[in-house]
Structure 1
Amino acid sequence: MTDSDQKLLHLLPRLLLDDSSSEAMSRDQVVLEVISDVDGLLPAEGVVIRQPYPNSSYLVGGSVRNRNGWCVPAANLPERFEVEFRWTFLSLLSDGSDWVVRHFIQLELEQGPFRTYTMAVSNWPNGRASIPNMYRYATAFLKSSQVLEQHRKGRPTLNVGNLRDGMLGVTFREEMRIPPIPYEQATSIHLYQKQQLHEVVQLTDFSLLNDEHKANGALEMPARVFLDAISLAAKVPYKRPEVPSATPGSSEDCLGQLESHPALQLLSDWWNAHRIPVAGELPAAMVMPYIRVQNDNSYWCGYRETPNSTIEGMNCVSSSCATCGDTVLLHFMASVKHSEFPDGFLDVRCLDGSEWVEVEATREQMARGEYDEAYYCLAALAEFSNNFPAAYRRLLQDSFEAPSSNLETERE
């Protein structure tokens, strides 16, 4: 296995905020200091605080070059040493005082044949941590009355309120034993290097690739139709625990069950009614929105765990797409009932019958209701206004400005 040519330590300061604090907090209010008796733990360009995870409630220390922690030479580091990650929230309290979170970690770098140490190794199911690391709890603004046994377990110190030196905040200490691993297995070093949606300023006016965006749609959907679908997805249950036929012992075939959700029915019916029929074309049953967020060549997928696509790259499926204003592209897909399950896996198809993506879900799993591709379309619609507030506001504006006699026509 590939390893580093020198001993490295991947430092990874993380702090979880509660949801309300995360929404109200600006990173400009936060300072992260790395304090230790050991030299050489800071990145050369200084520490940069980001929110690089899909969960925007995490604050993560990184460097100019790395968004998820940073690496320092470890050849001259002692086997055991303490490091403090001190998070200061400036002028947070009503009297203008700071709130300080002091996270002390006693690190032990174990001996072994490899040369890469990462604080993320404790995430592994077979890792050495006997208790969940404190960063997994929303401890930044913990009150004394909120401290639970799970917070104190295995931690020699957890203080809330008045700290030493007149500071107010939270102090906790932990121990972490880190085994050396091959560099190629230390994948966390290179994770989350692309900006998350919550880190970018979302736009709705673009100077680039507007014609290319329009060319990606065979139809133009009125904003009101799409807004109605968003509303239905948010109001009508679709999540797996609420699927009736997923009950144990049910013999009902659940294949494509969520395609009958009213939000997808509305969008699919609109497409099927306005598209000029083409021989061999399949009817629409699912739809995934792709959204322009910045003035570039990217569409952000509505389901946030799906990778983004390029505007030019989506042109190959334009016959299965509709635009909705300048910001949204809707990719329609056929029912999973048209899948042939090659090699036992689901093949999701565009409306012309071509394969869009292959998913590791068997026909039997889908029949039992264990997997439904339409779930991800519905999740994208239900969370659209939260994930893409700028595009949502533009859709509302477009729907108010559109004449009541707005007719949908197929593009030449």
Structure 2
Amino acid sequence: MQTAIQKIGDTSLLVTPDGKPIPHKDAEQPTLHIMPKLYIPYSDIGLGNITLFGASVLPFGKNGEQGKDFINILPEDVRLTHPVPNIRFVIAGTSDRRMGWEIPIDPNRPPQQIQLLWWVETSTEDRIIEHYFDLEFELTQQGNVFSMASLNFAVGEEPRAVSFIDPRDVSEASTRNDPSYQIGYLDDRVIIRQSNQIRSCAWSDLGLEEFENAVYLRDTEPVATFKTHLEEFASDACIEMPAHVLKEAISRAKTIADSQEEFWFGEKQYEHCPGLQHICQWWNNNAPNPEYRRAVNIYLWVRVEDDSEYWAGWYECPNIEIGTLSPDRCAKVGQHIIVEFLQGHGSYTPIGRNGFMVWGVDGEPFWDVGAPLDQADEAYYGHGMLKGFSERFPMAWEQLQSFGVNSAYQDVSKLNFNILEVPDLDDLDESSYIQQPND
């Protein structure tokens, strides 16, 4: 089951993709949920190179000046896995639970601090990460669970509960510009200190159950053709996009220099990505409804296995059912891909202090984002989906590469061509008079 966070006024509610609230589930007594999470953006560091060798809490009333003040809470059967879609995150759990573990607490005398100790072997050195969380607890009527996972909600305002092996890997998305957040080196160790207020909630508010037995794209067996849900797939789009349009957009996105991306990221200008501009220009020239020819960004949905689901083009987003998209803002490419077209940054509307709505080209909501509007650049994800498409969806990319051979991706009889009136050919280079599709 996939879940999402829905904003209702100033309140957040965990819902299924069809908008239904998650059934309520809570702990019987006040509980602290420990969920160590480490960010590893380096391909040469695997699970075998990482050890969580310490997890302890500082009891209420202790000053922590002596190591004996800390109480060990590290399970004997601690395990490290990649239980979330983003494989760059490592999460500690146990032999029968992937997403952390729990300990009972007295909410009137709760732990003052959590200490996590990581050991990471890199290609050049071994590194120790010491991560300290100074905590304040607020017991609410929502539930009895105080969870480190709740600190990572997109709608939060305090630093996220994530450890790093290098201070250079830390972004504002993790620190949330909290002035109390500190990370730096002490000899050969990385020291991280942060302060958080944890508000209690119910287990069902955290949405962790879906990760315990989740299947990810890396676990699937992609297929080249489909036999089921063909009508539903066709109903999700109002027009067929020639495969070469998407191929060209992907190619343009892949050629962008890192320095250019750094500039776009800093200036919130990913809408200038030539891949996005290319594919959106095709829609703005060809969309059946002229009123919807205002695309600036996209979202990709891709069939992988012969089942009823699309995989999201962005790796952190949940799957959705085939046949549930808004066809008036979508184009299909072959049997595998739906391109959904969105309006740009100028159309976003604020939701409270820390949220905004993204709109489709049809004027209907696409989704709401739990971040301040002035920090937003949703085109970052559109560009990223194009740039990473061939690696994330190799089978769909292989089918796109068959353009001109596979009839599922090209029907020449359906293409309109501009027949140009060409002057004396001696005055022109060859590229200026080749007949081009009207795309």
Q: TM-score per shorter chain, which class? A: 0.5 to 0.7
Question: Residue 330 of structure 1 is aligned with which of 315, 323, 339?
Answer: 339
| Among candidates 387, 390, 413, match of residue 382 of structure 1 | 387
In 1: Cα distance, 2:193 partner to 2:349 partner: 49
Distance (Å, rounded) in 1 between the aligned partners of 2:136 and 2:348 = 51
Instruction: Output aligned runs, 1:60-99, within 5 Å.
Output: 60-63=91-94, 66-74=97-105
Aligned-pair distance for 1:80?
Answer: 9.4
Equivalent in 377, 380, 398 of residue 393 of structure 1: 398
CA distance 1:372–1:56, shift in 2 (3 Å): closer
Q: Is residue 2:44 matched to residue 1:21?
A: yes
CA–CA distance in 2 between the matches of 1:82 and 1:336? Answer: 40
SS in 2 for 1:19: coil
* Cα 1:325–1:183 shift into 2, 3 Å: same
Are 1:407 and 2:437 matched, yes or no? no
Q: TM-score, normalised by structure 1?
A: 0.58
Distance 1:55 1:260, change over 3 A: closer
Other-structure match for 1:254:
none
The percent of aligned pairs where both chains have the same amino acid is: 23
Corresponding residue number in structure 2 for 1:311: 322
Q: CA shift at 1:292, angstroms? A: 2.1
2:252 corresponds to 1:232: yes
Within-5 A mapping of 1:119-268: 135-138=163-166, 150-152=184-186, 181-184=199-202, 190=208, 193=211, 195=214, 199-201=218-220, 203-205=222-224, 206=226, 208-236=228-256, 239=261, 241-242=263-264, 262-268=274-280
SS at match of 2:400: helix
Distance 2:118 2:263 in 1: 41
- Choose the corresponding residue for 1:292, options 293, 296, 303: 303
Write the distance in 2 (CA, Å) between the matches of 1:120 and 1:152.
27
User: For the residues of structure 2 that align with 1:402 and 1:121, how far apart are their CA atoms?
Assistant: 48
Instruction: Name the SS of the counterpart of 2:29 in structure 1.
Output: coil
Instruction: Give the letter for the 1:312 counterpart.
Output: G
Aligned residues between the structures: 345
Tell me how far apart the structure 1 counterparts of residues 365 and 161 of structure 2 sit (CA, whole Å): 40
Q: Of 11, 28, 46, which residue of structure 2 is paired with 1:5?
A: 28
Deviations 1:136-176 (A, max 9, x none): 2259xxxxxxxxx92327xxxx67xxxxxxxxxxxx99999
CA distance 1:370–1:409, change in 2 (3 Å) = farther
Q: Distance in 1 between matches of 2:262 and 2:193?
A: 39
Task: Give, in angstroms, the shift of residue 329 of structure 1.
Answer: 0.9
Residues 55 and 116, structure 2, Cα contact 8 Å, conserved in 1: yes
Once residues 49 and 151 of structure 2 are traced to their aligned partners in structure 1, the CA distance between those partners, rounded to angstroms, is 29
Alignment RMSD, CA only?
5.7
The answer as to whether partners of 1:47 and 1:62 remain within 8 angstroms in 2 is yes
Using structure 2 for the length normalisation, give the TM-score: 0.55
Which segments of 5 or more consecutive residues in structure 2 lack a partner in the other structure? 1-24, 57-69, 168-182, 416-439
